[in-house]
Structure 1
Amino acid sequence: MVLSTGTYDCSSLEGFFSGEPHSITGLVTYVIKPDVIEVISLDSVEQGKGIGSQLMQEVEKEALDRGMKVIELITTNDNLQALKFYQKRGYYLAALFPDAVKKAREKKPSIPLISEDGIPIRDEILLRKELII
Structure 2
Amino acid sequence: MTISVRSIRPDDLSVVTRVISGSWGGTTLMVLGCGELVDTTKLPGFVAEVDGEVAGVVTYIEDEGAVEVASLDAVLPGRGVGRALLDAVRAAAAERGAARLWLVTTNDNTHALRFYQRYGFDLVALRRNAMDRVRELKPGIPAEAGGIPIRHELELELLLGP
How does the TM-score come out when normalised to structure 2?
Answer: 0.77
Equivalent residue for 1:59, pick from 70, 89, 93: 89
2:159: which partner in 1? 130
Report the CA distance between 1:131 and its aligned residue.
Answer: 1.3
Tell me the distance in 2 between the aligned counterparts of 1:23 and 1:51.
Answer: 12
What CA deviation, in whole Å up to 9, does each residue of 1:59-100 have, x standing for no partner? Answer: 110011111120010000000011000000110111011111
- CA shift, 1:2, in A, is 2.0
Q: Which runs of 5+ in 2 are unaligned?
A: 1-28
> Residue 135 of structure 2 corresponds to which residue in structure 1?
105
More helix by percentage: 2
- How many pairs does the alignment contain? 131
In the superposition, the TM-score normalised over structure 1's length comes to 0.94
Contact 1:3 1:104 survives alignment (8 Å):
no
Distance 2:36 2:156 in 1: 16
Percent sequence identity is 40
After TM superposition, the structure 1 stretch with the greater mean CA deviation from structure 2, 2-11 or 23-32, is 2-11
Aligned to 2:150: 121
- Residues 38-49 of structure 1 aligned to structure 2 (within 5 Å): 38-49=68-79
What code does the residue aligned with 2:30 have?
Answer: V
